[in-house]
Amino acid sequence: MTELRTPISEEAIRALKVGDIVSINGTAVTARDAAHKYMVESWIESEPSGEDKELRTTLKPILSGGIIYHCGPVVNQDESGKWHFIAAGPTTSSREEPYEHKVIKAFGVRAVIGKGGMGDKTLAACGEFGAVYLHAVGGAATLIAQNVEEVEAVYKTEFGLPEAFWQIRVKDFQCVVTMDSHGGSLHKDVLSQSRGKYNEMFGG
């Protein structure tokens, strides 16, 4: 098992291969559909101002060498106003395929966590800029939440709590590398093998 501690170096990412198990320690930022659309439209494809500029300034150093987690958490807030994750399972990553390669390039993101894998644009960005896709265990949302030591901040709650940016500190968050920076993709391999088996069985 390889420990990844944020900020993660490109060298550490390039050393990983499909099938490696990693343990993540440090800061991650959750981002789903609304957050990705916002990052691309407001931070990358246009020059932000005002609150948008302030938020980009805040999150850019965290995303650089950092981790994006495709997660819409279940949260609660205690009497002191502190947020806590109750469930933190991965959401399907394919919805972010139109955006992720742009985010990786613009911010130097080193790892993307989710489930189900991503497509050719993200895989190419992993190779060009030094990033990996990490598969988290689906159906283990409450267990994963135990690896979230602290909610450090939350941004854009107007998107809805599951769609907001949650800045979290995680400890020993274990994932599997399923897309690496060398062009390897377990998801593509499984799809190819499945099609081959289908053709064998049904003469496709």
Amino acid at 135: H
Cα–Cα distance, 118 to 45 (Å, whole number): 22
* Beta strands at 148-155 and 165-179: parallel, antiparallel or unpaired: antiparallel
Cα–Cα distance, 152 to 62 (Å, whole number): 12
Question: Which residues, in sequence order, are CB contacts of 54 under 8 Å at separation 6+?
Answer: none
To the query of whether residue 36 is one of the catalytic residues in this protein, the response is yes
**Residue 143: what are its φ and ψ, rounded to 5°?**
-70, -45
Of 32, 23, 20, residue with least CA distance to 4: 23
DSSP 131-161: -EEEEPPTT-HHHHHTTEEEEEEEE-GGG-G
Helix locations, the chain, DSSP H = 10-14, 33-38, 50-63, 97-107, 120-129, 141-145, 186-202
Structure tokens at 82: 């502190």
Q: Which residues are known catalytic residues?
A: 36
